[in-house]
Chains A and B, each alone.
Chain A
């Protein structure tokens, strides 16, 4: 098969994976002149964006889309009628290098359908990374999808070459995985995640003890996972508590939420509708609240509701439920409290803290602090601003903060 056609099939097959990051790894470059590539230590670089709003940072492809498994939500399931293709190891290596030299990409994100056995598949995936690193001395970013239950030695080798490893948990509920992906076993997925975390911990521990020689490297950008949202009936509360469990148990860098989108040749057992993109967005916001704003998973979504509201963001929704904690004087409130004010980002909070050490913050200063004013004002007190008590207590507040309904129009 012609290379272009293969690329088309195998990139198309990979487009449902939401993870894209190329950040958080060790610092590398090729100034010694013996290799190609570098990694940016802080934030990753997105080289392009597709019209779906997602960044293209890595060459994201499947080694093959042939698969023994029959996961209903997956376009590559064994019983699907999509065209199949398989790259050779060398083809992927060459594509990666060629794209990289032109600065199209930050590196490679390689996944694969499961063919023959988990070990065989993992070995193929690892051999691409091995060749890139050892033969081409490639120093860009590599993300490898780990095949659950693959041999421990193969996983150790994958970690030696890859910056990040990931295994998709797929569905928030174990029961739905049983139904949708009969060959996949969430317990096996979690066992593999646990093994990865032990390896990551060991490496981090060994690095600290200076006396010993440098430990073999192991996935310096850690591990991540993906959850499909909307293919089963799990509610947001369940999804977030699953995430909290995954973050706590396996120290994942990221949990990606992927709104289930219609796939060509879809199984009839699935909801065939536009993907719940707003819901996905709200889940990312809620995830952010857990990772950077000190929220616990179970306080983000009201227990009786089960779902995040779609029209307002989760922090605003939380604040509306906890009006007794407001208004907050931003000249005296603690960092933890400030992080819970709607319309305040983490940087805003840092700016407030540094500014108020020398001066009092007044109403007119809010613009410079990057505060989203209409969201924040009912919840904060300044030396020259105090919201009407009736506003915070009144029933009208929620309505006021909800976005105005818009007339639907044609996109002219």
Chain B
């Protein structure tokens, strides 16, 4: 029989040294008794302290998860914790994966102890209430707390990191922690009488506590689950709990029964009213929309399109992404629809496909700032997949519903050439379903108006998996844009 006496309830190093010596000598758990110095001895425990055996040469490794668990679990008040942890250590010799078996009773119990300790540390971080002694620069902050387990030393560094600029002490019955601005030190426990019993701010805190409580939603059980009654005695606000609960029924009934009062007519000061951005009620906006339906300037088109409800795509999208560019740009680029980033930013072609387009335009010698860029469909169509939004191709009714905006942009901008990027754009520009590959790169005359050309959408290039194909297709895309650049110049000369 081995009897090991540890220096204190939190003497992890002592436990570790002894446990290591014992386990390397293959001492069975049943043959070890663990004690803490100064603790009352067990009634039947008359065994004397024994010398630890020599540690034989060699190593014994344990999983890191065990060490982590042991360091926490040892702080539990359970007197059997040292023996439990030694038993686990001893069993780890035979089964290195033991810690992974959550259903093992020893593992489960040790996990439960560690959980209890972690919770107690967390509650100490939360429920310590400092009281100020002295004022302002000379102030010290002193708290009284009664943890359930031996967690003061473990919880103290948190307070040192948080309240580094003020001297504080946390007094408990077992041990006290102090911070002097550079070090944490520990002294023996004291009685509650030695802790300050009031603070000048407590009344303010209580007033806040009472006001932030909503009597219409009393949930006492939920409160007690997170703030168990054992902590109440040291929480100043806890004395309000019973009176607040008692007054709840009356306050709620009054609130419900009370007839609505005459609405108050706010009298705004003149300068305030002038400074207030008066938001338009939506009814007014709609009326305006119908009145201005015939305008052709881009700004009013943009405003009208912002309220477009012609197809259901507006519902899930953030906003209408309207075209952008100079009022009378010679070239108009039409894409498919805004993507994730365009939807958030409210501008066309700002995402990855937009960057690809910018690069290709520059290579083809086209200045993007002189081009009008828009999309066939002006709301982002997608399906949500967890935290991302997957792009969906717009269908024909949606393209048709949105075509009015393209037509009106076209009428306002009057470009010499329209380039449709991809099949959706081609459908809108040419007014019918048009396969891109067959008609790509040719400049064609539209019945009444500008010339048009079809090419691929830059996002097609982004999707190509093969690097060679990507480079080749990119070159073709730039070639198409060069054709467009020439056609545009030609048209400008002709005009």
Which residues of A pack against B, CB within 8 Å?
3-4, 7-9, 11-12, 14-16, 29-38, 40, 43, 45-56, 59-60, 68, 78-81, 95, 98-99, 101-104, 115-118, 120, 149, 174, 178, 182-185, 187, 190-191, 193-195, 197-198, 244-245, 247-251, 259, 261-268, 272-275, 277, 297, 351-352, 354-355, 357-359, 361-362, 365, 368-369
Contacts and interface: CB of A to CB of B under 8 A. Distances in A.
Contact of A261 (B95, B214, B268): B214
Interface of A is mostly: loop
B101 A358 contact: yes
B255 A244 contact: no
B63 to A, nearest CB: 12
Nearest to B235: A48
26 contacts: A4-B207, A15-B211, A32-B164, A33-B164, A40-B125, A43-B122, A45-B125, A46-B226, A49-B227, A50-B214, A51-B213, A51-B218, A51-B219, A56-B209, A102-B130, A102-B201, A244-B384, A249-B318, A249-B384, A262-B256, A274-B216, A277-B219, A351-B102, A355-B100, A358-B95, A365-B103
Interface stretch (B337-345, B430-438, B475-483): B337-345
B131 interface: yes
Contacts of B217: 52-53, 259, 261, 275, 277
Contacts of A102: 129-132, 141, 199, 201, 205
Interface stretch (B84-92, B272-280, B394-402): B272-280
Most chain-A CB neighbours within 10 Å: which of B128, B143, B244, B384?
Answer: B384
A286 to B, nearest CB: 15
B354 interface: no
B154 interface: no
Nearest to A35: B165
Contacts of B215: 52
Given A265-B261, A359-B103, A191 B319 contact: yes
A62 to B, nearest CB: 11
Given A52-B213, A247-B387, A369 B103 contact: yes
Interface stretch (B30-38, B155-163, B292-300, B364-372): B155-163
Interface of B: 95, 97, 100-105, 108, 122, 125-132, 141, 143, 158-166, 181, 199, 201, 203-205, 207-223, 226-227, 235, 237, 241, 244-245, 248, 252, 255-256, 258, 260-266, 268, 272, 275-277, 279, 281-282, 306, 315-316, 318-319, 341, 343-346, 384-389
A288 B155 CA distance: 31
B335 to A, nearest CB: 19
B198 to A, nearest CB: 12
Contacts of A15: 211-214
A56 B131 CA distance: 19
Which of B132, B281, B386 has the most A CB atoms < 10 Å from its CB? B386
A228 B380 CA distance: 27
A194 B316 CA distance: 13
Given A51-B213, A365-B103, A30 B130 contact: no
B435 to A, nearest CB: 33
A368 B281 CA distance: 59
Given A354-B102, A358-B101, A103 B384 contact: no
Given A38-B161, A52-B214, A117 B275 contact: yes
B244, B261, B281, B344, most chain A CB atoms within 10 A: B344
Nearest to A27: B161
Contact of A60 (B104, B131, B212, B266): B212
A248 B389 contact: yes
Contacts of A193: 318
A182 B387 contact: no
B102 A267 contact: no
A194 B131 contact: no
Query: Most chain-B Cβ atoms within 10 A of its Cβ — which of A191, A247, A262?
Result: A262
Contacts of B275: 116-117, 120
B208 A53 contact: no
B268 A68 contact: yes
B141 A79 contact: no
Closest 7 pairs (CB-CB, A-B):
A53-B222, A53-B219, A365-B103, A194-B344, A79-B263, A261-B216, A29-B161
B256 A36 contact: no
Contacts of A355: 100-103
A8 B211 contact: yes
Given A191-B346, A368-B103, A52 B219 contact: yes
B388 A248 contact: yes
Contacts of B102: 351-352, 354-355, 368-369
A268 B238 CA distance: 36
B208 A59 contact: yes
Given A103-B163, A194-B318, A194-B343, 13 more contacts: A8-B211, A11-B207, A43-B122, A48-B227, A59-B208, A78-B264, A116-B272, A117-B275, A193-B318, A247-B384, A261-B217, A273-B256, A358-B100
A99 B280 CA distance: 42
B279 A103 contact: no
A117 B265 contact: no
Contact of A99 (B105, B159, B201, B318): B201
A108 to B, nearest CB: 12
Given A53-B221, A264-B258, A101 B316 contact: no
A101 to B, nearest CB: 6
A365 B102 CA distance: 9
Contacts of B227: 48-49
Contacts of B220: 51, 53
